[in-house]
Structure 1
């Protein structure tokens, strides 16, 4: 096969590529699809299926399940695992890789002849063929169980087969490094190159008997027990949690994913009363029959069944995991009878403040200079304001838990205490159970917090208003504009950079600082060089305005979107609705002057 390169050539080239695929493919369903194109001499169809290869990045692989190099399938998984194994052997040495092993988990996704379990089994078969030990969970697991296994068993890597909250046709292959965090550059590029050098299957792989192989270990019972023991240590009010007078009744949805089997155990580990399940969504179902897009971050639309269940059972709190249970959405019933859906930034602020106050309550003599919380650069800075006022540390990283996890690892290796990290896309890491987002753990912590607030006579929403009054009425406005024309996006950012003479104002709003993580420019640094990692392959500029508003403009790595994240700190004592109105006016100016001109020209052309 012609590997990863886009293949231009005559019809014979595509016929040859199709024949090579059929020769290598181990799945009768996907093999038949390519064979049908060969039989029909459908060169265009072959080109669409084999003309490019899924790009292996820091998030591993994620795409629709189907035939060819553009989709997730058994052969692509075999090729990916072969490349990963060879890379790990080169990085750590063959003996170390074989001894320490690889963690493997999978969710419930399935499409035709393809499914997550088979992807995990083929991965295991490739590994044991190289003499590499594998810790292969039995049955569906929540994503956090894989990085937990990496840490507990000292593995060289971990793989979770899941597409998280993507549509039902998708699947993914998430890779963790030896430190229990998702991989970061340059590992992704080096693994990608190793995959290209190991495309031909090394042998026929037996997935029917791989679980019986002496190198294939089932860690499920042992590690699930250890995981929930670790989770239970985050409960500060275990004895109180079952008291009826402080009970906050919770409705919970797994969003047709794997979360229920695990989040129910996290509630039990905290001695919390069982939640009321949203029955239509509680069991794993790869068809996701009640939601076209199984992402609780979508808010009220995705949570409608949860609200109905809550109301019919007198619940005042809704908790929702995404399908692989590494994220958490939260909503609370207000006295008005309306449901308030907390944003990821609000949940992050609430949990971050809670973790700090509880840690200090139990460790009053702790050195605050050794305490850290972490958030991604596009997440709210309210937790930073709390840290500055209270005297502990806030660290900002690039977008994605891969960066926060690796920062956590570095800080802990330096003897620091990292209490919490979060991203605005409802991802939260509480404590030290794992170094990745964990919706199973976060759900129990949030429920315990809600009960303690009830004991104090306040709801979670009321407590949030108190935090705004104390630390500032922070408000955010995040959205995107669509653009399917990459040159237009390049023109937008070229105009903003102005050949290095960056803008000083936008409308009537003076700009105080500029950080460009595409070029490495940062006006706030003495040498104008950015501290955070720089990537020339993506566009990202952050503006800090003199009125305190922070606006980040960035391209999406997976969608034709130009995203913007804007936040105003307001001023203590200001009405938050006034702050929201002022921010809305400024965002309208940013969109109109910074983003829209080229898009308007594109629409007119």
Structure 2
């Protein structure tokens, strides 16, 4: 029998979800799409849309745009923002005085009428309906501008509507706390609970027209852009050299937002402006020239950049992902081939460079101040910063995977009066300035540009400088990749087998002849390397993560992705300074990786899709 003008699907739970949706949704496109699915009896598609609500976690939300509770759309944005708003009201008595900032990228989805700008406007309407000031950017901006604005204006929170480097059909909702860093527990659980309690849209939540006329709405773009550029200028060390540099670079924003901002950052450093890849310079939600808008994928995304560089005689390519919070770099080799630096290699170069610049500025005070200096990296990233820190005398700390952890740890250290010079993760994310407590591809591009300019003046390539770093501090050879797995039971089975390898609650002690010295399991909190066998880093039962340390200096971490159906593995062989036999080290790491795949992945291999190593 039809109810509310809609035929029953025969599934009571699904029918109720659809009925509530059609009561709540005022977007004619998504509502019509749901009605058509019901009329056509497309129960399978309805289950995809309504089977499970998107989970709000520490990464916020990320999903495909379209109708239903499992997708990004007008209604789920309103519901999410209402919950977030109520949670903020519980946490901040001065929320109506301080307010929030909202930014967005250039994504859109024509079939559902969705776009990042539309979602940002709806989020603003929700806050304004409660009398809360909103700083809503009038145009698309890089993701780093949102945390910068939170800190710069002393706001309670920030929202960035972006799916970063995800495929074009996706969008996301990223949340920052008052400290300028991404949220960490327990805020994710608190926000998720508040969303469930505020699913029915408030009347004013849909009224973007009224919100756009409100005195509570301001545009922070001009002020933020000016202040951000001034703030990152403090990290410019060789302005005179930059002005005279003839080194040529190419930049691509991969159809994202980065072009305008990287050009401005280069100008602030008095660097020669990079050549822009014309076909990818302007935002385009279709990402027409790339299969995936992710510079981490390497050469395939950078082919147009290489062609332009070859034409103009440039030797270096810089690439941002679409929301400009990450940075990739490639360099032309003497052979004429292009080498894309790995995230760890660029991390080594930028870590070396930021410390060199800091020393230059401190002069005679270096020895007395170095003990107050910190660098951070995620636990799956290269340990090269640890090696540099040991020799140079500053502190190195590792955090859980994700910049939310590095940003929050950096904030704690800064509040203690420490100096945080640099933080990075192997997934081409770099924090080269504490004015943004998150990865920032704009400031990283300018700072990398100055490093390239400096090295060029010495006739040194990036590859040569990287080799010099490894020879001084020890080679760190990495090999990372992942398996795609859509079966959660298989993933759980694989990790549980590793936790009960030689019987209940026992881990492997050997991997085909490679002796394992310590095991750290950040899902259960076990760490055999600690006196009490308890991990120091925070643990999370909702994600899988085990790290094995080997007697030969190897480290391997296996973990599940928080946003994709992947089991990722990260391996590194850390050699002592003086051991420069790269071929031998690479061969040993290859054998270790083969052993890990054979021993730790093999029983579940039929359910896994392999990805080539990087």
Q: Structure 2-normalised TM-score?
A: 0.94
Cα contact 2:484–2:608 (8 A) shared by 1:
no
The reply to whether residue 589 of structure 1 matches residue 587 of structure 2 is no
Rounded Cα–Cα distance in structure 1 between residues aligned with 2:416 and 2:202? 42
Shift of the alpha carbon at 1:553?
1.1
Identify the residue that residue 359 of structure 1 maps to in structure 2.
358
- Residue in 2 that maps onto 1:4: none
Q: Of 473, 476, 480, which aligns to 1:474? A: 476
* Residues 543, 231 of structure 1: alpha-carbon distance in 2 compared, 3 angstrom cutoff: same
Q: Could you tell me which residue of structure 1 aligns to residue 452 of structure 2?
A: 450
Indicate whether 1:558 and 2:573 are aligned.
no
The alpha carbon displacement at 1:70 in A equals 1.1
Partners of 2:510 and 2:516 within 8 A in 1:
yes
Paired position in structure 1 for 2:423: 421
Query: Which residue does the alignment assign to 2:401?
Result: 399
Q: TM-score, normalized by length of structure 1?
A: 0.95
Matched position secondary structure for 2:300: coil
Cα distance in structure 2, aligned partners of 1:198 and 1:321: 37
Judge conservation of contact 2:483–2:608 (CA < 8 Å) in 1: no
Q: Distance in 2 between matches of 1:316 and 1:44?
A: 51
Note closer, same or farther for the CA distance 1:462–1:521 as it changes in structure 2 (3 Å cut). Answer: same
Query: Cα offset for 1:582?
Result: 0.9
Q: Partner of 2:374 in structure 1?
A: 372
In structure 2, the partner of 1:162 is 162
How far the C-alpha of 1:600 sits from its partner, in A, is 5.0
Q: What residue number does 1:383 align with?
A: 385
The Cα shift of 1:20 comes to: 2.2
Secondary structure of 2:568 counterpart: strand
| Contact kept in structure 1, 2:62 and 2:563, CA below 8 Å | no
SS in 2 for 1:87: helix
- 1:525 matched residue in structure 2: 530
Deviations 1:87-127 (A, max 9, x none): 0111123xx11111011001110111110111000000000
Matched, 1:290 2:292: no
Q: CA deviation at 1:515?
A: 0.7
C-alpha deviations, 1:30-69, integer Å up to 9, x for none? Answer: 1110122344454444333222111111111111110111
Match status 1:242 vs 2:243: yes
Cα distance in structure 2, aligned partners of 1:458 and 1:206:
58
Provide the C-alpha distance between the structure 2 equivalents of 1:549 and 1:508, rounded to a whole number of angstroms.
Answer: 13
Question: How many Å separate the matches in 2 of 1:583 and 1:602?
Answer: 22
| Aligned equivalents of 1:265, 1:254: Cα separation in 2 | 14
> Closer, same or farther in 2 for the Cα pair 1:506/1:32, shift >3 Å?
same
Residue of 513, 533, 537 corresponding to 1:508 = 513
**How big is the alpha-carbon RMSD for the aligned residues of Structure 1 and Structure 2?**
1.6
Q: In 1, Cα distance between the equivalents of 2:517 and 2:44?
A: 53
145-154 or 361-370, larger mean C-alpha shift: 361-370
Q: Bigger CA drift: 185-194 or 565-574?
A: 565-574
Are the aligned partners of 2:385 and 2:396 in contact in 1 as well (CA < 8 Å)? Answer: yes
Alpha-carbon distance, 1:15 to partner = 3.3
Match of 1:436 among 416, 435, 438: 438
Whether 1:464 and 2:466 are equivalent positions in the alignment is: yes
CA contact (8 A) 2:378 2:406 kept: yes
- 1:568 and 1:433, CA in 2 relative to 1: closer, same or farther beyond 3 A? same
Cα distance change on mapping 1:370 and 1:319 into 2, 3 Å: same
On the 8 A contact 1:182/1:405 being kept in 2, the answer is yes
Q: Distance in 1 between matches of 2:606 and 2:163?
A: 35
Q: Which residue of 2 aligns with 1:599?
A: 605
Is the contact made by 2:252 and 2:281 (CA closer than 8 Å) also made in structure 1? yes
CA distance in 2, matches of 1:42, 1:472: 59
What is the CA–CA distance in structure 2 between the aligned matches of 1:186 and 1:37, rounded to whole Å?
38
Kept in 1: contact 2:485–2:608 (CA 8 A): no
Aligned to 1:562, the other structure's residue is in SS state strand
**Aligned mates of 2:200, 2:101 — CA distance in 1:** 24
1:554: how far off?
A: 1.1
**Superposed counterparts of 1:85-234, under 5 Å:** 85-93=85-93, 96-112=94-110, 113-204=113-204, 205-234=206-235
Shift in alpha-carbon separation, 1:377–1:31, aligned structure 2, 3 A: same
Shift of 1:601: 8.8
**Which range moved further: 559-568 or 140-149?**
559-568
- Using the TM superposition, name which of 17-26 and 215-224 deviates more: 17-26
Moved more, 573-582 or 42-51: 42-51
d(CA) in 2 for partners of 1:241, 1:99: 43
Q: What is the deviation of 1:563?
A: 1.4
Q: Given the alignment, which residue of 542, 547, 564 partners 2:547?
A: 542
The answer (yes or no) to whether the contact 1:15–1:38 under 8 Å persists in 2 is no
SS of the residue 1:311 aligns to: helix
Separation in structure 2 between the aligned mates of residue 16 and residue 505 of structure 1, nearest angstrom: 53
| Contact 1:141/1:258 (8 A) holds in 2 | yes
Deviation of 1:454 after TM superposition, in Å, equals 1.4
Contact 1:59 1:175 in 2 (8 A): yes
Alignment partners' CA distance in 1, 2:141 and 2:196:
30
- Retained in 2: the 8 A contact 1:553–1:564? yes
> 1:315 Cα shift?
0.7
Which residue of 2 is the match for residue 3 of structure 1?
none
Q: Unmatched 5+ residue regions in structure 2?
A: 1-7, 610-614
- Between the aligned partners of 1:299 and 1:12, the Cα distance in structure 2 is 47
Deviation at 1:318, TM superposition (A): 0.3
Q: Which residue of 1 aligns with 2:495?
A: 493
The worse-fitting range, judged by mean Cα deviation, of 42-51 and 104-113 is 42-51
Equivalenced residues, count = 592
Unmatched 5+ residue regions in structure 1? 1-7
Task: Please say if residues 119 and 161 of structure 1, whose CA atoms lie closer than 8 Å, have aligned partners that are also in contact.
Answer: yes
CA contact (8 A) 2:241 2:454 kept: no
2:9–2:38 contact (8 Å) kept in structure 1: no
